[in-house]
Structure 1
Amino acid sequence: MTDAASAEDVKVQGKGKSLPFGAFEWLLAMRYLRARRREGFISVIAGFSFVGILLGVATLIIVMSVMNGFRTELLGRILGLNGHMFVRGVTSFVPDYDYLSETIEKIPGVVSATPIVEGQAMASSRSNALGALVRGIHEKDLRRLKVVSDHLLMGTLDGFDGGEGVAIGSRLARSLGLTLGDNITLLSPRGAITPFGTAPRVKSYRVAAIFEIGMSEYDSSFVFMPLDEAKQYFRTGDGVTALEVKIKDPDRVNEFVGPVGQKAGSCCDVLTWQQTNQSFFSALQVERNVMFLILTLILIVAALNIVSGLIMLVKDKGRDIAVLRTMGATRGSVMRIFFISGASIGVVGTLAGFALGTIFCLNIETLRVWLSELSGTELFSPEIYFLSHMPAEIDTGEVVSVVGMALFLSFAATLYPAWRAASLDPVEALRYE
């Protein structure tokens, strides 16, 4: 039996009506994909095409999953610590905040409206000094912040409202060399007014709790203080700097701007999390789209390798194609043989890439730690990427799109070489044999 199969098989194929992609066509297609000594170069090209499709699909799945994980983690941490909306005074602090908070919370869809006092201060210890964001808040509201109350490394929030203790981030505590029970000194420019100008306000507080949110920017700068103490420290009088409003669905925050604004009145402005973080999340979205376009080029290059490999295979098998045609094989049968040869590379490569990408995403943090220990370098710096671990979130819709695109490119790449094989003239191919 030759590469063109037995004469009996071909005659049977030519006489009856055969199903698309029959056993005869699969037999020849798989035989053409197996390497022989004189066809080794063609097999090498097929191998590179397979590896290209595999790496392209796997890389796209991994990168898109990591980008999704980044957005989800950052959004969860940012919105978990900060409100979805902020009600701030236009010219001064927000007065009568208790009544306003209860009024806003009655709006359907609003979860909470938390009064806060917020200001910048210099946090110092005996060994160091750093800038900090001080936020005054009630104990009950701080306990509702699960990203803080559920991630206490030391201390407790019991009696937070009654004492002069503060809760600070783990990185801030580490940078200042502080531990539980130590004193942290806060310096604010909002001090007493004297004939010589405004004197900075300096006061020491006991470290009552140390928390770790997992986002380095927050862990290295946030200091939580009892609300009444913060009002005295920042001299806000009977008002607060803002009300933090949280709703059930953060993506629908714009629908609540009108109702909340009506309750707050003309003396207050309403800002949403999308406005305050617009540039940050827009940059993430642009980066995600650009990475998708760049990595798609890997799949296109792999598809072109399939084209070149099949064209060479068609040229090398010209004599076999001619023999098949003279023995009764139809143009459609020849076209299907070479379509199967090329598409098999794409399908197997896509499935292998899907498996590799999924396994990588499910174990990405373990692999990161292993690679960091192996190379002796820090592959994912929390100071640069804001998060303490590498996130990955697999989106089913995106994975289906990547797999579908890879299969489409693989099938499209086989059409022209398969058409050339089917269009080969048997007389011309056998003239000089």
Structure 2
Amino acid sequence: MFKPLIFYIGLRYTRAKRRTQFISFITLTSVLGIALGVTALIAVLSVMNGFEAELRERILGMTSHATATGKYGQLDNWQDLERKLKNYPHVEGTAPFINGQVMINADRRVSGTMLTGILPEYESRVSEVADKMKEGKLSDLVPGEYGIILGVELANYLGVFMGDKITVISPQINSTPAGIVPRMRRFTVVGIFKVGMYEYDRNMAMIHLDDAAKLFRLDDAVSGLRIKLDDLFNAPKITRALSNALYDDYQVSDWTLAHNNFFRAIQTEKRVMFIILLLIVAVAAFNIVSTLVMVVTDKRGDIAILKTQGLTSRSVMGIFMVLGAVIGVVGTALGTVGGVLLALNVETIVPAIEKLFHVQFMAADVYYISELPSKLVWTDVYVIAGMAFLLSLLATIYPAWQAAKVNPAEVLRYE
């Protein structure tokens, strides 16, 4: 079988003799260092990809891809705008809404909350809140009956359950003979939803659109229309075209404006983590330098004999670059396999560790997401594996160059 000489010798040097056991141990640590670095890098980036995807899904499951409102922050006749948007390309659904900050009182507990008025029959067109109902359903919101749906964390904080009465205090005021008092209305809890994000589960409540209009004294007006698009990643371009089509009669914004800084921060953190963890791989890769330097020192006699047999300096360099490349390939391969397996099973491994040690890594009242998600992106795997192998090759250059400089006459003088 054909075996190029430099590959044969380079592979031969990977097998240790009795007197070079220490060198083999250093070689093993180099392989394991690269493997651990690559595994950590793939797993961490997969978790961060999972966080980004999960947050985007949950946020956009409760908010809208785009929002249209009037010049002064409200729409006086939302049906007209709905008809204009119905046949517009890329628009899949619309729903009116009324937003307002209120205080909710239940017994001795009080909490500030974002109160949203919705039309239950329209809401499923633009959000997934109907699928997030833990108790009750959106259709239980009936105009005039003053029912309210609370986030699960808000309900827990207030200590209320289905059928309980709560008081909603609006920033609107009433003038009475006794003086100025805030507007208050008694509501009945008819549903509880759970999105899985503390921000929404703790700070959001929903009532019927007609009840919200009465509470906030908007008559037939609404805060705006929520719009669902066929391509959420193309939302900025679609909303710009939509704004131009509607002229200056309406203001249109998209989800990237509302959450732009948040997702930019995630991307920045992901890049920083990539660089930090890549440095770990780099340290392990450059550990190959010390390994090859010791191999070169140990094999000086062999190098001298090979040179006297006609082996060129370039071929000598090739031998030790092959040796370093083998270490890099093995370490990268082990790390890639380990990283992929860990990334694919992190959602199973983490709960098992939490259960075993009775700990919770991500408390729901602290983090946006209380579970550790993972999303393996193969492009990241290819880039990480390629970078690890490239660093391994770069680490072989100096020791290989030193090996090529060995002078046979000086080495063999005392042999």
For this structure pair, what is the TM-score category when the shorter chain's length is used for normalisation? over 0.9
1:14-413 counterparts in 2 under 5 A?
A: 22=3, 25-144=6-125, 147-162=128-143, 163-194=145-176, 198-262=180-244, 264=246, 266-413=248-395
Report Cα offsets for 1:230-258 as digits up to 9, x if no partner: 11111112111121122111222222334
Distance 1:408 1:322 in 2: 29
Q: 1:343 to 1:262 in 2, by over 3 A?
A: closer
Shift, 1:90, TM fit = 2.9
Q: 1:391 to 1:198 in 2, by over 3 A?
A: farther
Distance 2:94 2:211 in 1: 20
Shift, 1:47, TM fit = 2.0
* Other structure's SS at 1:190 match: strand
Q: 1:32 to 1:105 in 2, by over 3 A?
A: same
Distance 2:64 2:175 in 1: 33
Report Cα offsets for 1:256-299 as digits up to 9, x if no partner: 33443355553532222111112211211111111111111112
Shift, 1:26, TM fit = 4.7
Q: Which amino acid aligns with 2:371?
A: H
Shift, 1:95, TM fit = 0.9
* Other structure's SS at 1:68 match: helix
Distance 2:236 2:208 in 1: 31
Shift, 1:121, TM fit = 1.1
* Other structure's SS at 1:378 match: coil
Report Cα offsets for 1:64-93 as digits up to 9, x if no partner: 111111111111111221112222333352
Conserved? CA contact 2:64–2:127, under 8 Å = no
Conserved? CA contact 1:87–1:264, under 8 Å = no
Conserved? CA contact 1:136–1:229, under 8 Å = yes
Shift, 1:36, TM fit = 4.2
* Other structure's SS at 1:308 match: helix
- Report the number of matched residues: 414
Distance 1:187 1:142 in 2: 24
Conserved? CA contact 2:126–2:226, under 8 Å = no
Shift, 1:139, TM fit = 0.9
Q: Which amino acid aligns with 2:91?
A: V
Q: 1:88 to 1:198 in 2, by over 3 A?
A: farther
Distance 1:247 1:170 in 2: 28
Q: Which runs of 5+ in 2 are unaligned?
A: none
Q: Which runs of 5+ in 1 are unaligned?
A: 1-17
Distance 2:196 2:349 in 1: 19
| TM-score of the superposed pair, with normalisation by structure 2 | 0.92
Q: Which amino acid aligns with 1:345?
A: I
Shift, 1:228, TM fit = 0.6
Q: Which amino acid aligns with 1:388?
A: S
Conserved? CA contact 1:123–1:186, under 8 Å = yes
Conserved? CA contact 2:116–2:207, under 8 Å = yes
Shift, 1:43, TM fit = 2.2
* Other structure's SS at 1:40 match: helix
Shift, 1:425, TM fit = 2.1
Shift, 1:131, TM fit = 1.6
* Other structure's SS at 2:162 match: coil
Shift, 1:399, TM fit = 1.3
Distance 1:259 1:413 in 2: 52
Conserved? CA contact 2:93–2:126, under 8 Å = no
Q: 1:111 to 1:271 in 2, by over 3 A?
A: same
Aligned-pair identity (%):
38
* Other structure's SS at 1:189 match: strand
Distance 1:430 1:241 in 2: 90
- RMSD of Structure 2 on Structure 1 (CA): 2.2
Distance 2:379 2:95 in 1: 37
* Other structure's SS at 1:336 match: helix
Report Cα offsets for 1:16-45 as digits up to 9, x if no partner: xx96xx265455434423344532332232
Conserved? CA contact 1:118–1:241, under 8 Å = yes
* Other structure's SS at 1:123 match: strand
Report Cα offsets for 1:168-209 as digits up to 9, x if no partner: 111111222222222232111113245777521222222212
